[in-house]
Amino acid sequence: MTGTAAVEIRGLEQRFETRRGSVHALTGIDLRIEAGSFVSLIGPSGCGKSTLLRCIADLVTPTGGEVLVGGVSARRAREEHHYGIAFQAAGLLDWRTVQRNVELPLELHGVGKRDRAARAAHLLEMVGLADFARMRPAELSGGMQQRVAIARALAEEPPLLLMDEPFGALDEMTRERMQAELLAIRERTGTTVVFVTHSIAEAVFCSTQVVVMSARPGRIVRVVDVDLPTRDEDAREHPSFFAGITAVREALRGRPVRGVPAGLGGDDR
Amino acid sequence: MNGLLAHRRAALVLPPLLAGVAALAIWQAVVVLGRIATFVLPSPTAIATAFGTVAPDVVTAATATGTTALVGLVAGSLAGVAAAVLAARLRVFDEVLSPLSAAANAMPIIALAPVFNAMFGSTSPVPRRLVVAVAVFFPLFVNTARGLRQVSPVHTELMRSLDATGWAFTRHVRLPGAVPHLFTGLRLASSLSVIAAVVAEYFGGRQDGLGSRITSAASNSAYPRAWSYVLGAVALGLVFYLVALLLERLLSPHTRRSL
Amino acid sequence: MSELLATQIAATAPVTAGRGGSRVRDGLRRSAMALLGVLVLLLLWELYRALGPQAGVEVGGQRVLPRADPRSMPGVLDVLRAVGEPEVAVPGSRSVGVAVLASAWGTLKMALGGWLLGAVVGIALAVPMQRFRLVERGLLPYVVLSQTVPIIAIAPLISGWGGRLQLTPTLSWQPWMSVVVISAYLAFCPVALGMLRGLQAPTAASAELFTSFAATSRQTLLRLRVPASLPFLVPALRLAAAQAVVGAIVAEISTGTRGGIGRLILQYAQQATSSPGRLYAAIIGAALLGLVAAALVSLLDVVALRPGRSRRPAPRTTPHPTPGGAT
């Protein structure tokens, strides 16, 4: 393993002080995410997957260990706009049009009006919402809002895209379509993606690696490499897709994986 | 489609209209048939007749009261919004003002009228305007402050991920998010301003508005005339409320429509 | 329609929520800050008295800054002294402070009567409005309307009933009854709107559940809708209490009913030239009256909304995971 990883986490610990005492949210997290990969974080509720994502985004400061994003500290990475982020709630600003929502990061970072508009138009084209630029978020469906949020996350062409259950609130059909669109976008931009989900199928279909976590305290159980021949709709019926699902499921259950070709031990207890 | 729309509109307008007409008819019947004395309740027709003769006076008085209400409303609203912005930036200011405004909510602010009369002189129009301003200050402050404080966690995280803090955060998230709340406060304040302006006159001071006309007509036992001025006060209150509603529709387009 | 009410109700709740730390410490801190606020106001008052122009400041013939002379703006100490002085220069006269308290108590009684009457009328209106759509359509606009227009303007007209209206051969209309009626008139609107909203609060699913039980409409009302309405009714009652106090004070002034704080304010305002402190003592009495009424209604909170139940109408926004939360 050489070169600069997109994300490098060493010995990360995260405790939260609550009224009922201290909660150990994450412990002993070591994770290296290579540039260009698509990594999903999956695990039961309370395993700290969202917290881990927030540590990478420097929205939460770890109580121990080190997080490097693109070779620099998470804080510096945030300040230098190394990543874009999309949340489960689209988090669009109701009072701005779709286009001006996409422009927000550019506006905050001093990009000129004309460049902003051009970039936003391009991104909206990419997420298939060019016709909706002048509308307000409230006039859009949930899936469309989420696409605007993704376009916003990509506005500054960040090398890293962080996504916290971005499709969690969508119905299954929309969800599958959005997954395909996300993969297509990634194909074009070459962005590294870190993706939090609780859907095994979603994780396997989208990812190059699935990081399986367990709860109390949150830790990484296993990293499952996924190798699908294609990433189109046919892939959902491919044996390697099902093998990946089995591997992830068994890792989630904490049982040893045997005879699964896609399974590749990356970490252990 | 068009017919359906007309039908729905009728279903919305007709019941209150019928209820109103029925109430007026019953009122008239009870007063006439029951031989109710006018000091208890004049009949609608008697009020209408009186209104016909004093209409110009009603307009003059309503203009005086309306001016009081408007000046107070504008001054109090500006102060309320400014205080809310300050409270959002300065925690101490917020901590001092918030419990005070909660307390003020329970207090009869119009009772300040005689105090202001004493401070500024009872012939001045300032005391009444000040009563209105103080009365509308609190709904504007409370609502705007709530709007400024109510920031969705996802927006907080988003802005932090974009390294946008301080003024950028205020400008892009806090202020626009507070606009609907501000207009809600303004809508409340608009009716409050007329109420305060009318009632402030009951406490003495300059006697050129609707409140003092109502009292003087009542003390002269000219009850239908007094009711005409009440009608003027109701109309003035409605005008203020509707203008505030219109402003809200025009200036706060993303507000959830619920009225 | 009742969004207006919801915001008014929200406005009556204290704004600052607990920001961590124990509740007692929070409460102490809040009280201390409120006290600080009052002290700052008093300080500003004294400062203006010391430094402000005696005749005020006039711009274009209008006085825009108040007169700082002791008659227009008595000092804090003058007001305190006024509280202790006897009301009239006769031996055995009650002190101004006692007069203020007695009057505030008198108004509180009338406001309480108005509040109760208003609450009963409001609830009695809300139940049929929820039950029959046509009643709601016919009445609701007027209830909302009466909240946005200065209904209180009729106070001097109802005052005319005093002593002239014969209810029964032995009982004539008393001035205090006018005060109660006006006070009730102001109090019923928020109660009607809040109760209606509360009765409509159960979801369609809950209503369907009761239908599936073949529950009678009376059972549905008592077991589903009334309990669901409490979180809406209690803040509405709180707002109604504030309205009832304002209504009672204004009604007293326009009816000239004796024994109340509103009347006392007017009386002391006329004595302002000789004894300016009294007026302020009466105003403080009115403010205290408002606070006491609010505190009394807050007791309802404790009784009606037991701990563990939501104290406010549930927010409509979906919850977001907090950084400290799971996942």
Residue C21 has pLDDT above 80, yes or no: no
Structure tokens at B231: 């009608």
- Largest CA-CA distance found in chain C, in angstroms, rounded: 77
Indicate the CATH number for domain C3-10+75-304.
1.10.3720.10
The answer to whether residue A116 sits within a structural domain is yes
Contact criterion met (CB < 8 Å) for B103 and C291: yes
Over residues A196-253, the pLDDT tens digits come to 998 898 999 899 889 999 888 888 888 888 888 787 778 888 888 888 888 888 888 8
Average pLDDT over residues C25-32: 79
Mean pLDDT value across chain B: 84
A48 and C CB contact within 8 Å? yes
What does DSSP assign to residue C2? T
Neighbours of C110 (CB within 10 A): 28
pLDDT at B5 (0 to 100): 66
pTM to 2 decimals?
0.77
In whole angstroms, give the CA distance from residue B243 to residue B186: 10
- The per-residue pLDDT for B4 is 63
- Residues, chain B: 259
Determine whether C241 is exposed, middle or buried from the number of CB atoms within 10 Å of its CB (0-12, 13-18, 19+): buried
Q: Render pLDDT for A104-158 as a digit per residue (tens, 0 to 9).
A: 888 888 888 888 898 899 888 888 888 898 888 888 888 889 889 988 888 888 8
Chain C residues bordering chain A (beta-carbon distance below 8 Å): 318, 320-321, 323-324, 326-327
State how many domains chain A has: 2
Let me know whether A117 and A205 are in one domain.
no
Question: What is the Cα A176 distance to its own chain's centre?
Answer: 16
What is the CATH code for B41-251? 1.10.3720.10
Phi, psi (deg, nearest 5) at residue C55: -100, 10
pLDDT at C92: 72
Average pLDDT over residues B105-129: 83
Using CA atoms, how far residue C183 sits from A149, B79, C116, in Å, is 52, 30, 10
Mean pLDDT of B3-32: 78
Same domain, A120 and A203: no
pLDDT band at B48 (very low <50, low <70, confident <90, very high): confident
**How far is Cα A23 from Cα A27, in angstroms, rounded to an integer?**
11
pLDDT at B169 > cutoff 90: no
Please count the residue pairs, one from chain B and one from chain C, whose beta carbons lie less than 8 angstroms apart: 227
Q: Which of A101, A132, A157 is the last residue of a domain?
A: A157
pLDDT value at C6 more than 50: no
| Phi, psi (rounded to 5 degrees) for A192 | -75, 140
Q: How many CA atoms lie within 13 A of C127 on its CB side?
A: 11
Q: Determine, yes or no, domain membership for A66.
A: no
Nearest CA in chain A to C317: A89
Q: Cβ contacts (< 8 Å) between B100 and chain C: which residues?
A: 34, 37-38
Note the pLDDT tens digit of each residue in B233-244: 989 999 999 999
Average pLDDT, chain C: 77
B116 close to C54: Cβ distance less than 8 angstroms: no
How far, CA to CA in Å, does B60 sit from each of B57, B204, B213, B229? 5, 19, 11, 11
Q: pLDDT at position C124, please?
A: 92
Range 213-242 of C in CB contact (< 8 A) with B: 241-242
State the Cα–Cα distance between residues B136 and C125, nearest whole angstrom. 29
User: Do A114 and A165 reside in the same domain of the chain?
Assistant: no
Name, in order, each residue with C-beta under 8 angstroms of A181's C-beta and a sequence gap of 6 or more: A127, A128, A147
B26 touching C, CB under 8 A?
A: no
Q: Which residue has the tokens 């917290």?
A: A51
Which pLDDT does position A255 carry in this prediction?
59
Q: Which residue in the block uniquely carries the two structure tokens 């709601």?
A: C136
Q: What is the pLDDT of residue C304?
A: 66
- Decide if pLDDT at A89 tops 70: yes
Asked if A57 lies within 8 A of B176 by C-beta distance, the reply is: no
Find chain B residues with C-beta within 8 A of A93's C-beta: 155, 172-173, 176-177
Q: Which of A15, A45, A53 to mutate to test the interface with C (most CBs of C within 10 A)?
A: A45
Nearest CA in chain C to B216: C156
Q: Which of B151, B155, B157, B257 to mutate to test the interface with A (most CBs of A within 10 A)?
A: B157
Residues of C within 8 A of A18 (CB-CB) are 324
Of B152, B155, B254, which has the smallest distance from its Cβ to A138's Cβ? B254
Q: What is the mean pLDDT of residues A40-53?
A: 88
Counting residues of chain B whose pLDDT is more than 90, the rounded percentage is 16
pLDDT (0 to 100) of residue C308:
47
Q: Does C203 touch chain B (CB under 8 A)?
A: no
Q: How far is B101 from chain A (nearest CA, A)?
A: 29
Contact assignment for C272 to B118 by CB distance below 8 Å? yes
Which among A42, A25, A64 has a CA at the least distance from the CA of A217? Answer: A25
What is the model's pLDDT at position B42? 82
- A256 & A166 share domain: yes
Tokens (6 digits) for B204? 């003495």
Peptide bond into A217 cis (omega under 30): yes
Question: Touching C: which chains, 3+ CB pairs < 8 A?
Answer: A, B
Higher pLDDT, C31 or B67: B67
Contact between chains at B160 and A59 (C-beta distance less than 8 A): yes
Confidence of residue B153 (pLDDT cuts 50, 70, 90): confident
Would you call C327 and A18 a contact, using CB atoms and an 8 Å cutoff? no
Please tell me the distance from the alpha carbon of residue C200 to that of residue C3, in angstroms, as a whole number: 13
> Which of B161, B183, B251 has the most A C-beta neighbours within 10 Å, making it the best mutation to test the interface with A?
B161
For B254, the closest of A83, A87, A136 (CB atoms) is: A136
Q: With an 8 Å Cβ cutoff, are A85 and B172 in contact?
A: no
In the stretch 226-255 of chain B, residues with CB closer than 8 A to chain A read 253-254
Dist. CA A224–CA A206, nearest whole Å: 13
Indicate whether A48 belongs to any domain.
yes
Domain that holds residue A104: 92-157
Q: How confident is the model at residue B223 (pLDDT cuts 50, 70, 90)?
A: confident
Distance from CA of B152 to the nearest CA of C (A): 8
If asked whether residues A50 and A183 sit together in one domain, one would say: yes
Using CA atoms, how far apart are residues A70 and A109, in angstroms rounded to an integer? 20
Nearest CA in chain B to A90: B154
- Residues whose CB is less than 8 angstroms from the CB of residue A132 and which lie 6 or more positions away in sequence, other chains included: A98, A124, A139, A140, A144
The number of beta carbons lying within 10 Å of the beta carbon of residue B92 is: 10
What are residue A84's phi and psi, to 5 degrees? -115, 155
Q: How is residue B170 annotated by DSSP?
A: I
Chain C within 8 Å of B176 (Cβ-Cβ)?
no
Closest Cβ opposite residue C321 in set A18, A47, A50: A50
Q: How confident is the model at residue C1 (pLDDT cuts 50, 70, 90)?
A: very low
pLDDT band at C306 (very low <50, low <70, confident <90, very high): low
H or E element: which one contains C138?
Answer: helix C133-148
ipTM of the complex: 0.77
Q: What is the pLDDT of residue A267?
A: 42
pLDDT at A2: 53
Q: Measured between CA atoms, how close is B253 to chain A, in angstroms?
A: 8
Residue C11 binned pLDDT confidence (cut-offs 50, 70, 90): very low
- Interface check for C18 against chain B (CB to CB < 8 A): the answer is no
In this structure, what are the phi and psi dihedrals at residue A226, rounded to the nearest 5 degrees? -115, 130
Q: Which residues of B touch C151 (CB under 8 A)?
A: 234
What is the predicted pLDDT for the residue at A36?
86
Banded model confidence at residue C263, pLDDT cuts 50, 70, 90: confident
Q: What is the pLDDT of residue B82?
A: 92
- Kindly report, residue by residue over A165-197, the tens digit of the pLDDT: 888 877 888 888 888 888 888 888 888 999 999
In A, minimum Cα distance to C320 occurs at: A89
> Do B119 and C66 lie within an 8 Å CB cutoff?
yes
CB pairs under 8 A between A and B: 54
In a domain, A5, yes or no: no
Domain ranges, ordered by start, for chain C? 3-10+75-304
Q: pLDDT at residue C208 above 60?
A: yes
Residue type, A252: L
Environment class of residue A221 by beta-carbon count within 10 Å: exposed (0-12), middle (13-18) or buried (19+)? buried
Q: Are residues A152 and A164 both part of a single domain?
A: no
Please indicate whether, in this complex, the C-beta atoms of A95 and B152 are within 8 angstroms of each other.
no
Q: Which residues from chain B sit within 8 angstroms of residue C30, using beta carbons?
A: 95, 99
Measure in Å the smallest separation between the Cα of C7 and chain A Cα atoms: 20
Q: Is A89 on the interface with C (CB under 8 A)?
A: yes
Of A23, A45, A89, the CB nearest to C327: A45
A176 & A203 share domain:
yes
B-contacting residues of C 137-196, CB under 8 Å?
Answer: 137-142, 145, 147-157, 159-161, 164-165
Q: What per-residue confidence (pLDDT) applies to A264?
A: 44
What pLDDT shows up at residue C311?
A: 45
Task: Output b/e per residue, A82-114; b: 16+ Cβ within 10 A.
Answer: bbbbbbbbbbbbbbbbbbbbbbbbbbbeebeee
B24 φ, ψ to 5°?
Answer: -60, -45
Buried b (16+ CB within 10 A) or exposed e, C147-165: bbbbbbbbbbbbbbbbeeb
pLDDT-derived band at C162 (thresholds 50, 70, 90) equals low
User: Angle between the B126-149 and B113-120 helix axes, to the nearest 10 degrees?
Assistant: 120
Nearest residue in B to C59, CA atom: B126
